[in-house]
Structure 1
Amino acid sequence: MNGLGTVLVLLGAALCAAEIVSGTFYLFAFGLALLLAGGAELVWQLGATADLGLATLLSLLFLIAAHRLRRRMSNAASERTAQDDSGHEVEVLQVSSHSLRVRYRGSEWSASLADPGDVAPGERLTILRREGSRLILVRPATSDEPSLRR
């Protein structure tokens, strides 16, 4: 049995198992590359240079795929969280000429009004949406207006 192929397969399996704990996909990318390169060595006996080259190439390809997958998942989660903020009420803490500081979820956030108008500290406003870490606010809906909360 080929020693290098066995080592690559075992190392790849260990990295894939470690991925279960980290949850980042990057260890899985390396582990899968090593598993495939080790399997290729065991089947075709390509030699150390070809095996390590294959492992490197596969690692690069799988890392790019893992990065894109992680970013897509992160963006989707961030978008869902931002949508979940719509309709919640905030308290205005501070007013400056170009932005507001409000209290929401127990901390201070930067905010701005969707429609121009005067706002005073202590006033309660409603979140229309979130753009990054900035809240976009509107005045609360009156009883004859439909609520923003979903």
Structure 2
Amino acid sequence: MDLSAATFWWVAAGVAVAAELATGTFYLLMFALGLGAGALAAHLGLSSTLQIVAAAVVGAAATALWHWKRASHPKSAPAASNRDVNLDIGERVQVAAWGSDGTARVTYRGTQWTARLQPGAAAAPGEHRVAAVEGNWLVLAPAPSN
């Protein structure tokens, strides 16, 4: 069986896409774009050297653009304090009193939770907002007054 150069490039691109699906590494898709460019160069009848150059240039450019795009966007908050991950973040609870160990028992979503203060916050009873959820602990910060 005789494989054409274009077939080789398309199979390599397919392998890169399959590897991306298995690993979740988005950069492999950019590499697959480069391999697809090599396949298109082969379809155009370009020499092996130009096919490799096309694959390298397109793959490198796509990877560089993706890296630049990711670097220019701000990083998301950690999962423990990210409202997109945990809908409890930002909800309000009432603290009746803080214990001497800096914890309190609060009622939230129909059950009792153990809560602690966010570092740097003053321990005062009253309304607090959930700043993070760490395991089965609520991390609270004083709620701003309206």
Q: Counterpart in 2 of 1:4?
A: 5
State how 1:26-105 maps to structure 2 within 5 Å: 26-42=27-43, 44-67=44-67, 68=69, 72=73, 75=76, 78=82, 80-81=84-85, 84-87=88-91
How many residues are treated as equivalent by the alignment?
Answer: 123
Structure 1 residues 126 and 30: CA distance shift in structure 2, 3 A: same
Superposition deviation, residue 79 in structure 1: 6.3
Instruction: Tell me: CA distance 1:40–1:109, structure 2 relative to 1, closer, same or farther (3 Å).
Output: farther
| Structure 2 match to 1:138 | 142
RMSD between superposed Cα atoms in Å: 4.5
Gaps in structure 2 of 5+ consecutive residues: 103-112, 133-138
Percent identity between the two aligned chains: 18
TM-score, normalising length: structure 2 = 0.55
Of residues 71-80 and 13-22 in structure 1, the stretch that sits farther from structure 2 once superposed is: 71-80
Quote the offset at 1:125 in angstroms: 7.2
Which 5+ residue runs of structure 1 have no aligned equivalent? 96-104
Give TM-score scaled by structure 1 length.
0.54
Question: Counterpart of 2:46 in 1: which secondary structure?
Answer: coil
CA distance in 2, matches of 1:33, 1:17: 15
Moved more, 72-81 or 11-20: 72-81
Name the structure with the higher helix share: 1
1:86 is displaced (CA, Å) by: 1.2
Give 1:50 deviation, angstroms. Answer: 1.3
Contact kept? 1:83, 1:129, Cα under 8 Å: no
